[in-house]
Amino acid sequence: MMEYTSVQIAQILFSVFTLLLLLGAPIMVALGASAMACFLVVGTDLNTMIQMAASSMTSFPLMALPCFVLAGALMECAGISRRLVHIAENIVGPIPGGLAVSTALSCVFFGAISGSGPATTAAVGMLMIPAMMRRGYNAGYAAAATATAGGIGIVIPPSIPMVIYGVAGQQSIAKMFMGGVIPGILIAVGLSFAHILLCRNLSSTSGLPWSLSTLLTALKKGIWSMLAPLIILGGICIGWFTPTESAVVAIIYTLLVGIFIHRELHFKAFMASLKTTSWLTGRVLIIVFTAIAFGRVLTEYRIPVEIANWILGYTQNPYVVWFFVVTLLLFLGMFMETLAIILLVTPVLLPVMLAYGIDPIHFGVILVCCCGVGFSSPPLGENLFIASAISRTSLEEVALKALPMMAVNVLVIVILVIFPDIVLWLPNLAMPAGGM
């Protein structure tokens, strides 16, 4: 059997992958078929590939994925998301652009229980886009505000993409969760200032006169909703349970609140949540299955190491590498879905970043933040499609209105790249010894 070099295997792998994408094949087909082609060329039994990929599906951290999806779906049915939005409205009050700012805050709250960008956009958008339109906001602007803020849903923990990165890169999911807290808040603050600036001449307000009593009333009504993210993150920090176990805790907590306290979670809604969870989890796990096989080829033939050595031969400046990496990730976000990007680039880029002394948690958070921008980047931008459908506005208009807010997201990413301690301070403070 002919011996193949790493360069030859890389050429076969990426050539087949690129060809299939150009032909319009789904990402999971392109990943699986390109890995299969390499296995066939080198003469490896395909059963080995299947067994290896299948065994990875049973990893303990990956069990958090369906649990967090189910928890997010149940929380929406239990009325938790509606109460969080009401709290956000009362925090902001009647400032210029108040409803747009409330939308950004609502996405922080809902992202802390859903872990999904599109889910956050849909849940918050159904409430806030019609409200903004009724109060004089341009329909395209209202949709753009929701779509761009929806990306916070995957930065604020618990985040499904962070779970996937932790599994793919063998990194601490708990540290990833902690690392996403401050960046998520920074993005929300940046978007809030942008809305205040862009809406400074808007005559409409949020329609809610601010007062301490109304805020306290909203907090009282939504206290059980506010406790959900606090229990999840607090339990992980204190060490009561792992991120995977916290997802199960979130499900139990939501069932108790939805059935016995809010009394809004009924059997029909529960079954609908199970259906949503099964569909989304199955779709994701198929991609994970093929991506693991793809990553196995990369690892066995040391392709990431070769790429790292090639880049190191051109520059020793980590900021130059960061520039190209962030540009690449933002570009991929325009054409590929988030989980596919993470599973594709992690085995390739993570060794490169490690070679430059960049912390893997820092890289992972930046990767997720770039994917968050991709949710509102045409032509794929899932959040744009959702917000456009809710507002009944053309995708082109929503995308154009979203450009200033996307610029804010990119600016925050640049700040996070330059000042890594913003990302790493909380993980190192809460979990100095590491752990899943």
Judged against a pLDDT cut of 60, whether residue 343 lies above it is answered with yes
Q: How confident is the model at residue 304 (pLDDT cuts 50, 70, 90)?
A: low
User: Two tokens at 312?
Assistant: 């190191």
pTM over 0.85: no
pLDDT in tens, 150-165: 888 889 887 888 988 9
Domain layout of the chain by residue ranges: 62-288+303-430
pLDDT value of residue 106: 80
Read off the pLDDT of each residue in 225-254 and give the average, rounded to a whole number: 77
1 and 40 in contact (C-beta within 8 Å)? Answer: no
Sort 143 into a burial class: Cβ within 10 Å, 0-12 / 13-18 / 19+. Answer: buried
Average pLDDT, the chain: 81
Of 46-55, 226-235, 374-383, 414-423, where does the model show the most confidence?
414-423
Neighbours of 234 (CB within 10 A): 12
pLDDT value of residue 335: 67
Which segments of 49-200 are extended strands (E)?
none
pLDDT value of residue 188: 92
Helix/strand/coil percent split, the chain, to 5: 80, 0, 20
Read off the pLDDT of each residue in 97-121 and give the average, rounded to a whole number: 77
**Which of 140, 76, 136, 128 has the alpha carbon at shortest distance from 100?**
128
pLDDT in tens, 170-198: 898 889 999 999 999 999 999 999 988 88
Judged against a pLDDT cut of 50, whether residue 293 lies above it is answered with yes
290 and 53 in contact (C-beta within 8 Å)? Answer: yes
Evaluated on CA atoms 46, 52, 55, 56, the torsion sign reads negative
